[in-house]
């Protein structure tokens, strides 16, 4: 209680120092549950506020972060032909992954929370909690070498025009993390698409290119590893091996079908995530752990998740029967092994603000995301992944689905009332 009393004593005056009070309020509610009590009747409040719900989602992403950090390093050293075993050079792989993900994570939160603080101050209310999840998701859907200045512009665009312009947390029409990604995809496509962007720490993603390490590797990690007698980052004389290809499974499938994918990666590598890709989308077991947490805590809608999985599976199965292009011939169940299908359905489609809210609407919302996601992935030659566009498209129509569902229920009740 001593710490709590101290924090209460240093509370800035809201009228004299509105910005400081906004910052204080955000930190206070982050550390302690709100002091709300039941006021009688049926209007009861428990200790689970919006911040705690958001933390549950962040917790569900932890395993994807851990694996993604390791895989950044693993893919880097695989390109160099070094430490190819899963546990070889483990300290170097994790250190390299941290060196790449940490700047992305820091910039994401400084820029996004800075905008949140400013708008909270201008509107005279507490800091809103919605960016906790957005800030955790954005680094996971980015390539490891995304230029930080491009990331900054994208976050400003997404938070200001996609969220604050609509009134802040709970008012946005589109998923903010996906809006950040879609801005980069259309404004700076070479920084987020193609085979080379998924490999960091190389002068170029091709055979003969040299390793390229930054100050974090040289001046922070190398002295520590030297003191411990471990291997260190050595850029001199380290080149990408002959025969290296940075092709992702999806690009391989689109050009040569499933056989082309299997010529580079095994199904187990695809499932466990030993492939290039966005930081958090690669490992399916880690995503399933997060899905289980969200379902057991009832933070995410099981109707949306299962609707998305069913919609994707049925669409892929139907396209298998058509099978006129290499991508159509990929077995429907292997569509979940590649790309961001599971990640998008689990963490993006279930955003409660931008998703449908009625029971019927959630089923249709999930089914259509699965349908459009596979359809865009398989049939669009310019974009062999469809989940970002599918979810943003359905975000737009989620209110319409809820309206149709509510009107249908009203009509049914009116008929029963007349009877």
Of the candidate ranges 36-50, 209-223, 225-239, the one whose mean pLDDT is the lowest: 36-50
Average pLDDT value for residue range 262-283: 93
**Could you give phi then psi for residue 211, rounded to 5 degrees?**
-70, 145
Average pLDDT value for residue range 403-415: 90
Instruction: Decide: 132 and 55 in contact? Cβ < 8 Å.
Output: yes
Tokens of 361: 């609407």
Average pLDDT value for residue range 123-152: 85
Length of the chain: 419
**pLDDT classification of 310: cutoffs 50, 70, 90:** very high
Tens of pLDDT, residue by residue over 349-395, are 999 889 999 999 999 999 999 999 999 999 987 776 889 999 999 99
The average confidence (pLDDT) of the chain is 87
Share of residues in the chain with pLDDT > 70 (%):
85
Tens of pLDDT, residue by residue over 27-78, are 565 555 555 544 544 444 555 556 667 888 999 999 999 999 999 999 999 9
Tokens of 351: 């955003």
pTM assigned to the model: 0.87
Annotated domain spans of the chain: 1-47, 50-281, 300-419
More confident residue, 123 or 221: 221
């Amino acid at each position: 209680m001593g710490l709590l009393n101290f924090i209460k004593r240093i509370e800035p005056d809201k009228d004299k120092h509105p910005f400081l009070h906004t910052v204080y309020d955000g930190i206070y509610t982050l550390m302690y549950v709100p002091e709300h009590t039941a006021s009688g009747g049926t209007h009861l409040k428990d200790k689970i506020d919006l911040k705690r719900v958001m933390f549950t989602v962040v917790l569900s992403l932890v395993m994807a972060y851990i694996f993604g950090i390791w895989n950044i390093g693993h893919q880097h050293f695989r390109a160099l032909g070094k430490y190819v075993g899963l546990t070889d050079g483990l300290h170097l792989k994790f250190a390299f992954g941290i060196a790449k993900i940490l700047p992305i994570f820091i910039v994401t939160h400084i820029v996004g929370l800075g905008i949140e603080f400013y708008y909270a101050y201008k509107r005279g209310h507490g800091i809103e909690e919605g960016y906790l999840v957005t800030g955790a998701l954005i680094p996971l859907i980015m390539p490891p070498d995304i230029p930080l200045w491009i990331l900054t512009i994208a976050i400003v665009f997404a938070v200001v025009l996609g969220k604050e312009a609509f009134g802040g947390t709970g008012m946005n029409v589109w998923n903010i993390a996906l809006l950040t990604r879609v801005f980069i995809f259309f404004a700076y496509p070479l920084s987020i698409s193609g085979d080379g962007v998924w490999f960091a720490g190389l002068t170029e993603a091709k055979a003969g290119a040299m390793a390229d390490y930054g100050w974090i590797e040289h001046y922070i990690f190398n002295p520590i590893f030297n003191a411990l007698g471990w291997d260190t980052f050595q850029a001199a004389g380290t080149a990408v091996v002959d025969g290296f290809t940075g092709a992702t499974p999806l690009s391989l499938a689109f050009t040569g079908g499933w056989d082309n994918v299997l010529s580079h990666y095994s199904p187990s590598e695809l499932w466990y995530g030993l492939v290039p890709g966005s930081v958090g989308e690669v490992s399916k077991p880690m995503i399933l752990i997060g899905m289980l947490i969200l379902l057991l805590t009832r933070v995410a809608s099981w109707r949306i998740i299962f609707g998305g999985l069913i919609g994707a599976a049925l669409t892929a199965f139907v396209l298998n029967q058509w099978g006129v292009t290499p991508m159509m011939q990929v077995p429907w169940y292997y569509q979940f092994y590649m790309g961001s299908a599971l990640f998008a359905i689990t963490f993006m489609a279930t955003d409660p603000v931008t998703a449908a809210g009625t029971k019927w609407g959630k089923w249709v919302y999930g089914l259509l995301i699965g349908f459009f996601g596979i359809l865009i992935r398989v049939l669009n030659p310019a974009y062999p992944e469809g989940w970002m566009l599918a979810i943003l498209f359905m975000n737009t129509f989620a209110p319409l689905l809820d309206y149709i569902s509510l009107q249908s229920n009203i009509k049914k009740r009116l008929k029963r009332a007349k009877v």
